[in-house]
Structures are given as C-alpha cells and as structure tokens.
Structure 1
C-alpha cells in the first residue's frame, strides 16, 4: 500500500458515516472504518483522534468562529441583532464546509455519547458568545441569556436545515427560528 493515499480523509469519513448509519455508532470500531475505507489505522490516526472525531473534527474552532461572526457584525446592531447576524454568517460557513450534515445529525441523535459531546461543544460556544455579546454592550446576565437563546435558535435552525437539504439557505432558518421564538414570547411581553 502506498505511503500516501489521495483523499484518505474523505474516504475515512465516508466509510465511517456509512457504517454509523447502517450499524449505529456504538457498533462500529476504528478497525471497521479503516477496513471499509481500504486504509490503515495509522492513516486513520493522521486525520482523527478517535471515531467520535470523524463527526466532530474541527468543532473546536466553532466557538471562535461564532463569536468572531458576532463581534464582526455591523457596529450599529445591538447585541441581539448582532447575535442573529453572527449565527446566520456561521450557518453559511457550516453549510459550505461541513459535509453530510443531515447524516451526521441523525448519527448524533442516536447516540447518548455523541449527544453529550454535542452538549459540551455548545457549552463552549455559549461561553464564547457570552464574551462577544459583552463586548457589544450587553450586561453579563443579558449576554449569558442571549448566548443560550442563540444556541437554541441555532440548533432549531440547523435541525430544520438538515431536514430540508434542498430548502432555503441556512440564514433563512435562523430568522424563522428567531421569529418563532419572538412570537412565543410576545404574550409574556404584553403582560408587562
């Protein structure tokens, strides 16, 4: 076998996704993935730390990407508006760069271990967003609440986007989820 395999990372990812979907995440080993891809464990280790990393590779950059998008939003926007603009920008990036998002979402939904990893990922995003929102003038309390609400909006938008892969651009789903939340909160605001 040659020392370097062209598109090895993509082959490993495709093999892993196919196996996870067919057998379930817990029933697949790294050996299964490498065998299906026709590659070695050593090649796998060049690209991924473990089989979870096939699904979460690069997610360590997400907090910085999201908070950077919020920080870089138009200076005239308030914290909540900057949050939505940043989430929409992040969604555009993910739509272009995260392969096979609908399949990945189904795999994560079927595994408690992966769901916990997803929650950990979003906790880091929330912390990063809180800092970006404070920089935009929100109080600590408001920044923390907005960050958590932003995560909920993002997750709802991502779910809808993956359910309709030929549907609208990701930012449309961000704005729809935010509008739905605003409508749900309107009766609370009217009581004040």
Structure 2
C-alpha cells in the first residue's frame, strides 16, 4: 500500500464495479475490493459498512449532486424544471460511463437484494430532491410528487437507453419521457 491517493470512496467504488463484473457480486469480498483499490481492508470498512453500499456509491453521489443542482438554480426556475435539470445532469454523467452503467444494470437485474436496494436508493434520491424543492419554497406535496415522478421517468428512460446505449441519447430520452407525461396529463379530460 503506497502513498495516499485522493478520492478513496470513488477508488473503492470503481474497484468494486470491476470486481463485481469480473467475478460476480456474491463472490467479491470487501478485502478484495480494498486490495484492488490499493487500500487496507479496514479502510474499506471505515468508508462503507458493506459491499452493497460501495456498489451504490454512485446513487448516493447522484443524490448529493441533484440536491446541489436544485439549490444552485435561480429562484425563478419552476420546481418541475429544477428537478428536470438535476436529473438531466445525471443522465449526462451516466452516458459518459456506459460500461459502468451496463455492469451496474446487469448486476442489479440479476440480484434480488441489489434490486431492492436500488429501489430504496432511488427513493432516497427522490426524497433528497423533494427536500431541496421545499427549501426553494415549493409546497411539500408538490415537491414530493414532482421528485418521485421525475425519478420514475428517469428510471424508465434508463431502462430503454441501456438496451442500446451506443445509438440512443439518455438525456434526450429523459426529456422526451417528461414531455410525454406532460402531454398525457394535458390531454386528460377535466373531471365533472
């Protein structure tokens, strides 16, 4: 183990994805992840309670980034546009890391425990965005509705994109999903 290197959480997350892809989630240990990242096992467990959490490091980072985007927008930006901007940024980041996205998707799809944790982490992403909207003055019920709906649109766009990421644009697919939802809601017949 050589000299200190920056971003230990990111290095562990990268090492984990590489090992999970090569040998499977269940077969990979925290000690192996730490060794691959050039760190001691105890450093791994100081930073992450278990290998599931290192696997979901990217979703936790997405939550922090989304909250920062929403908080940094001008006050006149509508809540729906704030949530869209936060998730569009995430789409762009994912699209830059197609291989990691595919590996993560395949592992989540093949492992019920990871799938359940993935749903939970995305619910936390939505909750964080809703809280950021409330801090900007949006009513709580609207903030929750917008954030959770936008995360659902994001997940659906991702599922379509991951089937052929080389020929599709994830941010565009996300925006198209929001537009499709807006059109469906606009064409809804008024209640009597």
Q: Which residue of 2 aligns with 1:101?
A: 101
Note closer, same or farther for the CA distance 1:140–1:129 as it changes in structure 2 (3 Å cut): same
Q: For 1:20-169, what aligned pairs fall within 5 Å after superposition?
A: 20=24, 25-26=25-26, 28-30=27-29, 34=32, 43=40, 46-47=43-44, 49=48, 50-96=50-96, 100-169=100-169
* TM superposition shift of 1:120: 2.0
Deviation string for 1:15-62 (max 9, x for gaps)? Answer: 321222xxxx44x2428x939x98599746645743324522343332
Provide the aligned length of Structure 1 versus Structure 2: 181
* SS of aligned partner of 1:166: helix
* SS of aligned partner of 1:76: coil
Are the aligned partners of 1:30 and 1:41 in contact in 2 as well (CA < 8 Å)?
no
* SS of aligned partner of 2:166: coil
- Structure 1 gaps of 5+ residues are none
Q: Which residue of 2 aligns with 1:15?
A: 19
Distance 1:163 1:44 in 2: 36
TM-score, normalised by the number of residues in structure 1 = 0.75
* SS of aligned partner of 1:137: coil
Are the aligned partners of 2:98 and 2:165 in contact in 1 as well (CA < 8 Å)?
no
TM-score, normalised by the number of residues in structure 2 = 0.75
Note closer, same or farther for the CA distance 1:82–1:42 as it changes in structure 2 (3 Å cut): closer
Note closer, same or farther for the CA distance 1:154–1:43 as it changes in structure 2 (3 Å cut): same
* TM superposition shift of 1:161: 2.6
Distance 1:118 1:124 in 2: 10
The answer to which of 130-139 and 11-20 deviates more is 11-20
Deviation string for 1:57-110 (max 9, x for gaps)? Answer: 343332221121122235432111221122112222333368510121121022
Distance 2:175 2:36 in 1: 43
Distance 1:147 1:11 in 2: 31
Deviation string for 1:93-140 (max 9, x for gaps)? Answer: 333368510121121022121112112212221221111222333211
- Structure 2 gaps of 5+ residues are 6-10
Q: Which residue of 1 aligns with 2:8?
A: none
Distance 1:98 1:125 in 2: 21
Are the aligned partners of 2:17 and 2:100 in contact in 1 as well (CA < 8 Å)?
no
Distance 1:15 1:150 in 2: 32
CA RMSD in angstroms comes to 3.3
